[in-house]
Structure 1
Amino acid sequence: MKANLAQQTRIFVFLRQLAYPHICNVEEELRPQLILSPMVKHLYIFLFALLSCVQSYGQGWERIYGGGGQDVARAISKTRDGGYILTGYYNGNIRLYLLKVDADGKLQWSKTFAGPQGNSRLEGYGVVATPDNGYAIVGYVDPDGIGTTFNRDIYLLKTDEFGNKEWDKTFGGNLADEARAITLLSDGCFVITGFQSFDNGNSENVFILKTDSQGNTLWFNNYGATGARKKGLAITQAQNGDLLVAGELKASNFNSKDAYVLRVGLSGNLIKEQTYEMEDMGVTGDDEARSIVSTDDGSFAVAGFSTIGPGGQGFVFKVDATLSSNPVWANLYPTSDFYGITRDKSTGNLYASGIKTIGPLADLNIVKMDPVGQILWEAIVGRGGVDAGYAVLPTRDGAISAGFTEPTVGSFGDSYAYLV
């Protein structure tokens, strides 16, 4: 078994990204031991499959970017040249962070953006490549720059292919409004989701905003009720063009949170909304759906986190196109906490990414699942402190995850954007 583990780690080659003058400040280092052996029942199957398919699986690597103090990648999207665009925040959400990397994660350029008033706090949560080779980024802006959650606006930024700002727009009311995800439609329009506060901050609505390619509002709809808290955290498009939002719903202060899925038409008309509650041995907890992806048969896979059990559990469940109250299947993954899910269109396999907790360690994990959610393999990557994967995409030979890494235990205020 020890020989197998040694071969496994040699497959992954880790390189530290060289410094770029205004942002990155990291040294080169080879760290093959950062892949920790997956402590799951599929360990032997995983190692056998991995060692049998080295040529087709390819090499793994990590890249670390930053230098601002607290730097985090929240979202990743494929670019038209085969590379990736990442967004998040730089220097503890003081500035929005945008990074362009090639297919191997090598940094090509990076930009940071201040808000419209210079001292505004900005954070990026979603990014897409646009038909003109540029990028559209969404998140929130705190116009006053004082860091409160009660004075935030939805923020949409458009850049050219080199990350130079072309225009930006803000949307929202008088309280907290945040965008969490964006998708690009075939007509070049953008659809954005997130949540808005109302009722003096005592209630929250899911919103869906559609803009044209210049950021002009086409429609802006809210879905919610007074006294309830609904959040839209992810968005995808169905095969027929409908829009699906995943998030959370807390019906009242006396209720636990449920995973929440909303389906609307292309004009924003409500088709159906449904809640889902995870259960383990009759026990329930707070559930949060953080990511959603369409599947081959027109259904949807949803990933997130439940507080069931010690430390909580990650979950993935599949719902049909009608959003039936009974999932097609639902699986819990102990000691995992999922933030992103994606699908390999060629095989139908799923990849989820988030945090894996093993004893005192909290590391980034990427879990490959078959179309019914059974684990095929799990890669766990860690450094000294907390590591997390917030977003995941399929690649030719596996998957890529973006998030953050802390160099040492307890190094709050010292994190780096992370790509594995």
Structure 2
Amino acid sequence: MKTNLLFRIFISVLTLYCLCGLIMSACDDDDDDEPVATATPTATPTMIPDAIEKTFGGLASDFAHSVQQTSDGGYILAGSTNSFGAGGSDVYLIKTDNALTEEWSMTFGGLLDDGANSVQQTSDGGYIIGGYSDSFGPGLRDIFMIKTDSTGTEEWRKIFGDSESNDCGNSVQQTSDGGYIITGYTAAPDNNYDFFLLKTDGAGNPVWLVNLGGTGNDVGNSVLQTSDGGYICAGSRGSNGNDVFLLKTDSAGIVEWSNTFGGAYEDFAHSVFQTSNGGYIVAGQIKSDVDGMDNVYLIKTDDRGNEEWSKTFGGSDRDTGNSVQQTSDGGYVVAGSTRSSGAGEDDVILIKTDNTGIEEWSKNFGGTEGDSGHAVLQTSDGSFIIAGVTESYGAGSHDIYVIKYGN
């Protein structure tokens, strides 16, 4: 009897052991299946550690040309969309939170091509947008200014141009008096571009206009109000090929000085920023005398526009600097595109220098196709936000590409 009891206990233990083994095997099988289920490739870029990368857009072509951090810690993006809107391309305005999650988006435009090159948050919490319109106005293409409230709802729009010209606004900023300053180009009667600088009041009505032109193309690409209440504008002048062009006016638009920089070939400025010592940092591109390829061009001037130093960055192929800002440590950050390094036809490039223009580090972002960074700024947490375009990721042929790197 005692033997039968022991035998039954033995059988029970053996049965329990087998059941546990089956349960554990089933659990292990579930674990093995899980990576297979989540290994499907995704279009979301995750190439660089410490970076958040997002795309926005639809099935057609969408671009971002400007980004600013907003007072709530999020971001506002402006560019153009062929995926949404009324027709052709439309102005595309996207508001995100700090993690680059879209909160809302708006389009503005008509049946033809319209787009934005610049955006800034205004003192009332709304936004001012500068760009171009083929849909409205008297000309083939006209300067387009749009003011919205904090939700992206249009408050007013203004069109500037004449019936015989192609005109475009490339950069806009709110001024200390509540008005706006915008720069770009207007087509001259000889079909060359002339530089313009237009000051408006708070309702977008013109106050004064500066026009400069020569025998070539003259373009304003970047403008900001300076610490003395005047304005600094960077672009290119084409009287002798193309040279980097830097112009300073007083608060009434009276030209105080202008300077050109560059070599024997085609050179352009895309961005200007006033530095903490009252001078200016300019980013663009310079064509090499050696191999004929563009390199990133960084120029530091004093407060009168006299060059203190200049630096070039790049390799054996085309590299451009599209945006520059001084960083909290006194150095500089430049965003643009590179064909000399990276994974694709073009990659977004981010270059950090010290206060003398010596490179401290650089990072590439992108995939196997063409990607480019059009705007950069340092954020309140010390990281960097870049806006541009990608052919490597997203839903369409070109998509808005936004990268937050660091911290």
Shared fold per TM-score greater than 0.5:
yes
What does residue 192 of structure 1 align with?
A: 182
Q: Give the one of 258, 264, 275 matched to 2:249.
A: 264
Q: Give the one of 267, 274, 277 matched to 1:287.
A: 267
What stretches of structure 2 of length at least 5 have no aligned partner? Answer: 1-40
- Cα distance between partner residues in 1 of 2:140 and 2:119: 23
Counterpart check, 1:212 vs 2:201: yes
Counterpart check, 1:368 vs 2:352: yes
Alpha carbons of structure 1 residues 83 and 89: separation in structure 2 relative to 1, 3 Å: same
Matched residue SS, 2:339: strand
Matched residue SS, 2:329: coil
CA RMSD after TM alignment: 2.2
- Cα distance between partner residues in 1 of 2:45 and 2:128: 34
Alpha carbons of structure 1 residues 139 and 68: separation in structure 2 relative to 1, 3 Å: farther
Q: Tell me the TM-score normalized by structure 1.
A: 0.79
Instruction: Give the alignment of 1:21-420 within 5 angstroms.
Output: 31-32=45-46, 34-35=47-48, 59-91=50-82, 94-114=89-109, 118-143=110-135, 151-173=140-162, 174-201=164-191, 203-225=192-214, 227-251=215-239, 255-278=240-263, 284-308=264-288, 309-324=291-306, 327-335=307-315, 336-344=319-327, 346-358=328-340, 361-395=345-379, 396-407=381-392, 414-420=397-403
Deviations 1:49-107 (A, max 9, x none): xxxxxxxxx93210100004110000111211111111000018611100001122111
Q: Could you tell me how far 1:144 is from its partner in structure 2?
A: 7.1
- The answer to whether the 8 Å contact 1:68/1:90 transfers is no
- Cα distance between partner residues in 2 of 1:78 and 1:241: 23
Q: Could you tell me how far 1:28 is from its partner in structure 2?
A: 6.1
- Cα distance between partner residues in 1 of 2:268 and 2:340: 22
Deviations 1:377-404 (A, max 9, x none): 1111112211100000102232111000
- The answer to whether the 8 Å contact 1:366/1:399 transfers is no
What stretches of structure 1 of length at least 5 have no aligned partner? Answer: 1-26, 36-57, 279-283
Alpha carbons of structure 1 residues 175 and 111: separation in structure 2 relative to 1, 3 Å: same
- Cα distance between partner residues in 2 of 1:338 and 1:164: 33
Q: Could you tell me how far 1:200 is from its partner in structure 2?
A: 3.7
Deviations 1:113-165 (A, max 9, x none): 12xxx3132110011101111101010001379xxxx7110000011111111
- Cα distance between partner residues in 2 of 1:91 and 1:29: 20
Q: Tell me the TM-score normalized by structure 2.
A: 0.81
Matched residue SS, 1:193: strand
- Cα distance between partner residues in 1 of 2:279 and 2:159: 33
Q: How many residues align?
A: 349
Alpha carbons of structure 1 residues 268 and 289: separation in structure 2 relative to 1, 3 Å: same
Question: Which amino acid is the alignment partner of residue 143 of structure 2?
Answer: I
Q: Could you tell me how far 1:238 is from its partner in structure 2?
A: 2.1
Question: Which amino acid is the alignment partner of residue 102 of structure 2?
Answer: L
- Cα distance between partner residues in 1 of 2:168 and 2:153: 23
Matched residue SS, 2:367: coil
- Cα distance between partner residues in 2 of 1:30 and 1:223: 45
What does residue 22 of structure 2 align with?
A: none
What does residue 12 of structure 1 align with?
A: none
Question: Which amino acid is the alignment partner of residue 301 of structure 1?
Answer: I
Q: Could you tell me how far 1:362 is from its partner in structure 2?
A: 1.2
Q: Could you tell me how far 1:365 is from its partner in structure 2?
A: 1.2
- The answer to whether the 8 Å contact 2:271/2:282 transfers is yes
Deviations 1:29-49 (A, max 9, x none): 6643x23xxxxxxxxxxxxxx
- Cα distance between partner residues in 1 of 2:320 and 2:251: 32
Alpha carbons of structure 1 residues 391 and 31: separation in structure 2 relative to 1, 3 Å: closer
Matched residue SS, 1:266: coil
- Cα distance between partner residues in 1 of 2:119 and 2:92: 11
Report sequence identity in percent.
Answer: 30
What does residue 7 of structure 1 align with?
A: none
What does residue 10 of structure 1 align with?
A: none
Q: Could you tell me how far 1:413 is from its partner in structure 2?
A: 7.2
- The answer to whether the 8 Å contact 1:314/1:338 transfers is yes
- The answer to whether the 8 Å contact 1:404/1:416 transfers is yes
- Cα distance between partner residues in 1 of 2:396 and 2:267: 28
Runs of 4+ with deviation above 6 angstroms: none
- Cα distance between partner residues in 2 of 1:317 and 1:83: 30
Alpha carbons of structure 1 residues 313 and 319: separation in structure 2 relative to 1, 3 Å: same
Question: Which amino acid is the alignment partner of residue 83 of structure 1?
Answer: G
Matched residue SS, 2:373: strand
